[in-house]
Amino acid sequence: MNFEWLQMLAEMVAGIFLLAGGLPVLYLTVLGFAGLVPGRKSVASPGEDPLRIAILIPAHNETLLISETVADAFEQAYPKELFTVLVIADNCSDDTADLARAQGAEVLVRQGDPGKGQALNEAFGLLLKQDWDAVLIVDADTRLHPHLLSNISVEMRRGTRAIQAFYGVLNPNETRRTAAMELALSSFNGLRPRGKTVLGLSSGLFGNGFCLHREVLEKVPYLARSIVEDLEYHLRLLDAGVKVKFLDRVWVKAQMPATAADSSSQRVRWERGRMTLALQLAPGLIKRIFKGKFHAIDALTDVCMPPASILALFFLGSLALGNTAIRIGAFSGIFLMALHYLMAGFRFGSPVRTLQICFFLPWYLVWKTIILGKSFLTSKHLPWVRTKRH
């Protein structure tokens, strides 16, 4: 009798695991197939004046790559008189500001109250006093598609007020870890937001390669101050009725840490920030949904979507504890999740690298699970520090 009771309990837990993993994976499947729908190409209409766009680069001790980033930003295939490059040297203790000036950038030096959100808010205030139509934010270790500004200008002339470009990996061939990161971002920063845009949802902001029209910045000030300030600000945009459109034809690509030691602190900050924000915001978003504010569903999905490593653990738990029907469901979930990442890798990454790293992915998921565990034990107040990349 006790054995039967334990078996029933195990199957109940397995069913909960299957539900917890299955619903997000079904959502990813819908977004994945929607993300493969062809989109129309951005072409400027005859006589359409291009926008004046400021490229804003927040930087904290970025001596290693800031010169290349600024130089690359100035190489945009866009009228030189219609864009500028402004670097925010935020509490730097190195020569980031001098190197940026040497490449022709304007530099705003900040001391005190460190943080990317705070730095961006101060720079936005400065730029809004000038006559720029929009502001593009890129990180200090980033390369830009040469036609990024021209594509942004066309979309904003059509009425789009917030844009996110595809944010990919600059060094995917460096190690298997950076190749795995390319695959992860192909889903998170590529196929998913592409599918959301096709379905009429807001794509989200990823902290790098997003552009805001001045109307948006005046309507929704950038007051986000958490570790994941981009996610926090996106929720504010949704509250204000502003959707972010994803552009998959143009990209920004950033240098990613090549080793587990270098990337660990970065991932702990990100995951801790997402978990903290989810705990803070989820109850209020649920209340808004019940009050008929259905844009909160989009926001709640963004906040509460589990990482792939957690989804994999849910399915493994279902396989270990469930009956035949539950195991079939778990295998189906694993298949759909693998299919989603294959589609993402083939669409936004490299088909060859996607297939090459298949055997490395289990170890990568184990590492991500350990990072999530560390995130639970980490202090809420994590500073903005530069991640080591070389």
pLDDT at 115 over 80: yes
Averaged over 268-286, what is the pLDDT?
A: 72
Decide yes or no: CATH 3.40.50.720 for domain 53-258. Answer: no
Looking at residue 168, its amino acid is: G
Measuring CA to CA, which residue among 61, 73, 58 is closest to residue 108? 58
Strands 210-213 and 134-137: antiparallel
Query: Confidence band (pLDDT; 50, 70, 90) for 62?
Result: very high
Residues 361 and 367: their CA atoms lie apart, in Å, by: 10
Averaged over 281-288, what is the pLDDT?
A: 82
Tokens 């001045």, residue? 214
Cβ within 8 Å of residue 293, ≥6 positions away? none
Averaged over 278-301, what is the pLDDT?
A: 80
pLDDT at 304 over 60: yes
Q: What integer pLDDT is reported at residue 256 of this predicted model?
A: 87
pLDDT at 130 over 70: yes
Cβ 388 vs Cβ 255: under 8 Å: no
pLDDT at 381 over 80: no
Strands (DSSP E) along 45-203, which ranges? 53-59, 83-90, 106-110, 134-137, 142-144, 162-169
Averaged over 306-320, what is the pLDDT?
A: 89
Q: Where are the domains of the chain?
A: 11-36+270-376, 53-258
Strands 134-137 and 106-110: unpaired
Cβ within 8 Å of residue 138, ≥6 positions away? 55, 56, 57, 69, 73, 144, 208, 209, 252
Query: Confidence band (pLDDT; 50, 70, 90) for 239?
Result: confident
Q: For the sheet containing 162-169, what is the strand order?
A: 106-110, 83-90, 53-59, 134-137, 210-213, 162-169, 245-254, 142-144
Counting Cα atoms < 13 Å in the Cβ hemisphere of 96 gives: 27
Averaged over 50-78, what is the pLDDT?
A: 96
Query: Confidence band (pLDDT; 50, 70, 90) for 266?
Result: low
* Angle of CA points 381, 302, 310, to nearest 5°: 80
Count of C-beta atoms within a 10 Å radius of residue 74: 16
Strands 162-169 and 245-254: parallel
Query: Confidence band (pLDDT; 50, 70, 90) for 262?
Result: low
pTM of structure: 0.87
Residue 118's alpha-carbon distances to 101, 125, 126, 286, in angstroms, are: 22, 11, 13, 28
Token pair for residue 344? 């993402």
Q: What integer pLDDT is reported at residue 30 of this predicted model?
A: 96
Most confident of 67-76, 167-176, 290-299: 67-76
Residues 269 and 271: their CA atoms lie apart, in Å, by: 6
- Report the chain's terminal Cα–Cα distance, integer Å: 60
What percent of the chain has pLDDT above 70? 86
